[in-house]
Amino acid sequence: MNLARQGRILVVDDDQDVLSAARLYLKRHFGQVDILDRPDSIPDLLRQDTYDVILLDMNFTKDVSSGKEGFFWLDKILSIDPSAVVVMFTAYGDVELAVKAIKEGATDFTVKPWENKKLQATILSAMKLRASRLEYEKLRSWQRQVSADIDHKYQDMIGQSEPMLKLYQTIQQVAKTDANVLILGENGTGKELIARAIHRNSNRSQEVFVNVDLGALSETLFESELFGHVKGAFTDAKDDRPGRFEIASAGSIFLDEIGNLSLPMQAKLLTVLQNKEVIRLGSNKVIPVDVRQIFATNMHLHQMVGEHKFRQDLLYRINTIEIQVPPLRERKEDIPLLAEYFLQHYVKKYQKRIRSLSESALNRMQKYHWPGNVRELQHVMERAVIMNKGLTLNAEDLLINTRSSVEAEEGDDLVISNYNLEHIERLVIKKILKKYHGSVTKAANELGLTRTSLYRRMEKYDL
């Protein structure tokens, strides 16, 4: 479908003959042509609908020649929709009015009676400008989001064990489809890496990948972040802003920690997933979105459904394909590959002389339970590289306790055999989080911490 046939045009004039003539001619060339004989209806109309081009009369019945009313409504339109494209027209071919109209924000200026072909060409040119403005707005938001994502540390998937080979095969099978994917696994196993791999191997690989940590969104920020908001929707809403779904349109969106959503938030998300459209906070305009949806959690959603903590209809919507990520303790043959990778990475980053890992270091890693999975291994290697002054990393350079690890992680009761305060704090926080199925709010209440303080400790201990 060409640009003109998709065009949505609004004509505002107090002369019914002008409106009829414009609609009769423009309907032959553009998809939708609406007419309006009262400019005071413009705000209500623009809050319900959007137009590619608005043809606005310079002079209405209250003021027949100065153009003051036209400038007033031009300003009003641009305050409602800053990306609006407005073409002014008048029965008086005043050059000064034309120059002033463009300085005030109009795109073009035409004189009545118009020449049909010239009017059509003017509108087409204005439509292209509108498309460019919308694309620029999307790219600007995309750039901000991509920059934020790039700042987040990201490494490729590494592993040749049987569980990882099966995982690669599953990614290849599902990537080319648009099926919703639910990635399940413990913290630190690399769920985001899998989501990115699915996107890179999909038909949307040239479009944006947007990552959203739902666990970090409060009830008040949820709608604004995901669905966007318009200027004035709340106290700090100083500009219109697209949400993550709009930014991700044509690409992929990764909604991490979906198990942490409250039931009201789940209901709002389900509506968007079902209808494939969003409504910005403070607006009633429906915005279609075309997004590949990937979800992840470390929580047991099926169990939560039985406990009425997670909506069954939402679970069925998001888990067309389920991918279970193996924890590091179930693929220990990959530990040497991962350790070597992180060794080389941090040796280069910190300009160290270390050349190799000793057999004793590798043996110690193989015996460790790795409750924090690959993320914990990464941090252990980074710390060891920073502190080491020799050419080889040895077992004593690795700050891990194989005995206390197994005792603390495998038993239901909290067993302390390593009296390091940070180690104890980590185990206590992990146990309370497990008790409340990952609910940060409930865990923070029991621990006597704020949510923010608990999030800081979770990040510190890779939980």
Full set of structural domains in the chain with CATH? 4-133 (3.40.50.2300), 152-326 (3.40.50.300), 327-399 (1.10.8.60), 401-463 (1.10.10)
Task: Please give the pLDDT value at position 2.
Answer: 60
**pLDDT (0 to 100) of residue 404:** 45
Helices (H), 152-188: 162-175
- Span 441-461, mean pLDDT? 81
Residue 418, pLDDT score: 47
- pLDDT of res. 85: 92
Position 411 confidence tier, pLDDT thresholds 50, 70, 90: very low
For residue 19, the SS3 value is: helix
Residue with tokens 């510190």: 460
What string of DSSP letters covers 233-286?
SSTT--S-EE-HHHHTTTSEEEEE-GGG--HHHHHHHHHHHHHTEE--BT----
What is the predicted pLDDT for the residue at 3? 62
Burial of 316 (0-12, 13-18, 19+ CB in 10 A): exposed
**pTM to 2 decimal places:** 0.62
Average pLDDT over residues 402-427: 54
**184 or 7: which carries more pLDDT confidence?**
184
| pLDDT of 257 above 90 | yes
Instruction: Give percent of the chain above pLDDT 70.
Output: 88
Rounded to an integer, what distance in angstroms lies between the CA atom of residue 170 and that of residue 160?
14
Query: Across the strands, what pairs with 11?
Result: 35, 55
Residue 301 pLDDT more than 90? yes
How many other C-beta atoms can be found within 10 angstroms of the C-beta atom of residue 54? Answer: 28
Question: Residue 414: helix, strand or coil by DSSP?
Answer: coil
Tokens found for residue 347: 């040796």
Q: Kindly state the tokens that stand for 12.
A: 């505002």
Q: Which residues, in sequence order, are CB contacts of 315 under 8 Å at separation 6+?
A: 301, 302, 305
15 burial level (CB within 10 Å; 0-12, 13-18, 19+): middle
- Strand ordering across the sheet containing 209-213: 209-213, 252-256, 292-297, 181-184, 321-324
3-state SS class at 6: helix
Query: Best-predicted range by mean pLDDT among 110-119, 199-208, 406-415?
Result: 199-208
Provide the pLDDT for residue 408.
43
Distance CA 110, CA 121 (A): 11
The whole-number pLDDT of residue 152 equals 43
Whole-number pLDDT of residue 70: 84
Q: What is the CA radius of gyration of the chain?
A: 29
Among residues 250, 251, 231, the alpha carbon closest in space to that of 241 is found at 231
- Condensed to tens digits (0 to 9), the pLDDT of residues 106-165 reads 988 888 888 889 889 999 988 988 888 877 777 766 665 655 554 444 346 899 999 999
Average pLDDT of 432-449?
A: 84
pLDDT for position 449: 79
